Amino acid sequence: MKTISRRVFHKKLSQGLAGTALLSGMPLGFGMSKYSVKKKLGIALVGLGSYSRGQLAPGLEKAEHCYLAGIVTGTPAKEKQWMKKYTIPKSNVYNYENFDEIAHNDAIDIVYVVLPNSMHAEFCIRAAKAGKHVICEKPMAVSVAECDAIIEACATAGVKLSVGYRMQSDPYTNEIKRLVREKTFGDVHYVSSDAAYISRGNPNQWRLNRALSGGGALMNMGVYAIQSTIYGVGMNPISVAAQEFSTMPEYYKDTDETITAQMQFPNGVVGNLFTSHNANANRLFVNFRKGWAELNPCHSYGPLAGRTSEGKDIKFPHQSQQMRQMDDFTKHIKTGSINFAPGEMGKRDMIIVEAIYKSISEGGKTIPLDLGAMGIVS
């Protein structure tokens, strides 16, 4: 008798539950969608670079509600490796040219775009047109206009959209949000967020190429500093002023090396953020009227660590952030539970990114932000 591995067995079982109902033409029960019948939803990763390889694929192996069903790659050599390692059938393997045929593949429910930033919009829009739910890596795109185009394509296709903001599913982030919301230490007075790492090595990497990245440190870890400053205060900013610093212009010649920015909030709080491709910093500090809370490290994959002015550690068991993030989005599709990182959040952050670059180009001028109507708070 042919034996199959436990992983293959579970995969076949999860696909089978949906398949039985859908393929046989059996009517789905009242209130059931093809997604609620499936035990696990199938995700296809588009772009098999270091984040897909090191974080997303391993996260999917542990996920409860989704699994790695397919891949989309421009590098034929990766196809065989990934098919073997993750038991992916050839029928679920695509390249950038035939990607749109994914529309006819019921094993793929969600397309996760993990390409250089300037390619996000094209592939998210193609995924939506193929009728697939979309996860778009951060930063959502390289302009607000592209964010709008992704949001509109998903709305028109009736598919769900989320941004790869893994921190939004992380318990440390949510503990800071709770302390702010419940005013455990009183009102927030000041927030400081640093998100930076030294990005050297290959000077031709896409992150240092503006046409592919849309910008440097700000487009990389900078969006995490924007995010944590905002949830550290618990509301959207009303203006931003920013400064750029360059100590190695010969290396960081096409993209920003270091940026600091101050966001002003409606309650008078100032949030100061720092991001860089030429320094290591990874911390969120929230100063309240009667104390403080700190996460350090804050923005990395974990384990994270935190403490408060009471001398208590903020501590949670370490789990893959990416697993939590993809499980949360899958639950959102299946049950309508909260979408922790909707497209509008990615767009809000891109509005702030554009305002930061505008401020820098105007010598540090304060740029007003009109985010009131966005409905996205932290």
Catalog residues that contact ligand NAD under the rule CB under 6 A: 47-52, 74-75, 114-117, 137-138, 164, 166, 206, 212
Q: Smallest distance from the beta carbon of 223 to ligand NAD, in angstroms?
A: 9
Q: Smallest distance from the beta carbon of 300 to ligand NAD, in angstroms?
A: 9
Choose between 162 and 258: whose C-beta lies nearer to ligand NAD: 162
User: Rounded to an integer, what distance in angstroms lies between the CA atom of residue 200 and that of residue 30?
Assistant: 55
Choose between 146 and 265: whose C-beta lies nearer to ligand NAD: 146
For residue 273, give the 3-state DSSP assignment.
Answer: strand
Choose between 52 and 262: whose C-beta lies nearer to ligand NAD: 52
Choose between 11 and 299: whose C-beta lies nearer to ligand NAD: 299
Choose between 26 and 211: whose C-beta lies nearer to ligand NAD: 211
Q: Smallest distance from the beta carbon of 327 to ligand NAD, in angstroms?
A: 15
Q: Smallest distance from the beta carbon of 23 to ligand NAD, in angstroms?
A: 33
User: Considering only CA atoms, which of 122, 131, 168 is closest in space to residue 346?
Assistant: 168
Report strand pairing: 270-276 vs 258-264: antiparallel
User: Rounded to an integer, what distance in angstroms lies between the CA atom of residue 9 and that of residue 63?
Assistant: 16
User: Rounded to an integer, what distance in angstroms lies between the CA atom of residue 127 and that of residue 32?
Assistant: 24
Contacts of 278 (CB under 8 A, 6+ apart): 196, 198, 199, 217, 247, 248, 252, 257, 258
Residue nearest to ligand NAD (CB): 49
Q: Smallest distance from the beta carbon of 212 to ligand NAD, in angstroms?
A: 6
Q: Smallest distance from the beta carbon of 52 to ligand NAD, in angstroms?
A: 6
Residues 186/160, Cβ–Cβ less than 8 Å: no
User: Rounded to an integer, what distance in angstroms lies between the CA atom of residue 331 and that of residue 231?
Assistant: 23
Tokens coding 253: 């010649």
Choose between 18 and 284: whose C-beta lies nearer to ligand NAD: 284
